A and B are shown apart, each in its own frame.
Chain A
Amino acid sequence: DADVTQTPRNRITKTGKRIMLECSQTKGHDRMYWYRQDPGLGLRLIYYSFDVKDINKGEISDGYSVSRQAQAKFSLSLESAIPNQTALYFCATSDFFLGVGGSPYEQYFGPGTRLTVT
Chain B
Amino acid sequence: DQQVKQNSPSLSVQEGRISILNCDYTNSMFDYFLWYKKYPAEGPTFLISISSIKDKNEDGRFTVFLNKSAKHLSLHIVPSQPGDSAVYFCAAMRTGANNLFFGTGTRLTVIP
Contact = CB atoms under 8 A, between A and B. Distances in A.
Interface of A: 4, 31, 35, 40-45, 48, 50, 58, 90, 92, 94, 96, 102-103, 105-112
Contacts of A50: 98
- Mostly helix, strand, loop or mixed at chain B's interface? loop
B44 A94 contact: no
Nearest to B59: A101
Nearest to B32: A105
A107 B100 contact: yes
Contacts of B9: 40
Contacts of B6: 42
B43 A42 contact: no
Contacts of A102: 46
Given A106-B49, A107-B46, A40 B34 contact: no
B35 to A, nearest CB: 10
A94 B49 contact: no
A111 B104 contact: no
Contact of A45 (B2, B46, B99): B99
Given A48-B99, A94-B98, A105-B95, A43 B44 contact: yes
21 contacts: A31-B98, A40-B9, A42-B103, A42-B105, A43-B44, A43-B89, A44-B102, A45-B100, A45-B101, A92-B43, A94-B98, A102-B46, A103-B34, A103-B49, A105-B32, A105-B100, A106-B34, A106-B46, A107-B46, A109-B43, A109-B44
